Amino acid sequence: MLSYRHAFHAGNHADMLKHFILYLVLDYFNQKDKPYWYIDTHSGAGVYDLRDDAAQKIGEYADGIARFQAAPVLPKLVADFVAHVAASLPETHLYCGSPWLAQSLLRDADKMRLFELHPTDFRLLLDNMRAANLGRRCIVKQENGFAGLIALLPPATRRAVVLIDPPYEQKQDYASVVQTLKDALKRFEQGCYLLWYPCLSREESRTLPEKLVKLMPTNYLHAQLHVHTPRADGFGMHGSGMFVLNPPYLLAKQLQETLPEITRVLAQNDGAKFVLDYQIK
């Protein structure tokens, strides 16, 4: 099934959590001279036009990036993130996907490996990444990102940031992310793995974090952002989570300082809250 298009959700509250954490992780990796790889298993189109029909149909960016942009005051790290996103984009009506955000932070010696199966988004991703002028440092493939990731590990640099962000359209996606991380850790235990997932009422979503903790119980960070109370009918996404294996040691402190204000700015009702749990070596 290839019906999911992130264009309908670009710039929403889930992107704010995912991209802010990705921004912090890549900024940390940039503090050491040694090069690294960025690997994205479900890349999407790379860049999204918030004026087009897909974005306007649901308008989720209005409760995400638009709220950040309109906030009179933000914590410095969040304000820096918002300013960086704006500076990375050629037009104000665009919003970045994770590949575009990542390429704006990578240095000349770092490399990108991107996977996207959806034929339309794959073509858009190719065009968008060509516009970034990364040359041979960026390779884009129309492949299953779960399998593609394992084939790349371990990278020659022995440093990598991996983002796993599937659509979760099918129940097996939840099992696939756990198995993929198990296989990845066997091949490259020291990689920094970031997994995004939706906070839903369904059991697969609710039980995923406890399965992930078991993969690396002494070195993980788990953050959730709930923007409203779960709906009584059980439908819809009320928030999202980011699970990081081998997180940067600064990440917990950075999120402790910023998640309360992020939650306040993005709250849609008084059921908004955040969760932050971690064990970091």
Task: Determine if residue 195 is left, alpha or beta; phi over 0 gives left, psi from -120 to 50 gives alpha, anything else beta.
Answer: beta
Catalytic pick from 40, 110, 121, 165?
165
- Asked if 130 contacts 76 with a C-beta cutoff of 8 angstroms, the reply is no
| Nearest C-alpha neighbor of 195 from the set 185, 186, 187, 203 | 185
CA dihedral 63, 65, 70, 72 (to 10 degrees): 110
| Residue 279: strand pairing partners | 220
165 included as an active-site residue: yes
- Asked if 38 contacts 113 with a C-beta cutoff of 8 angstroms, the reply is yes
CA distances from 219 to 38, 215, 247 (A): 20, 9, 7
Rounded to 5 degrees, what are φ and ψ at 277?
-135, 140
> Which residue numbers are catalytic?
165
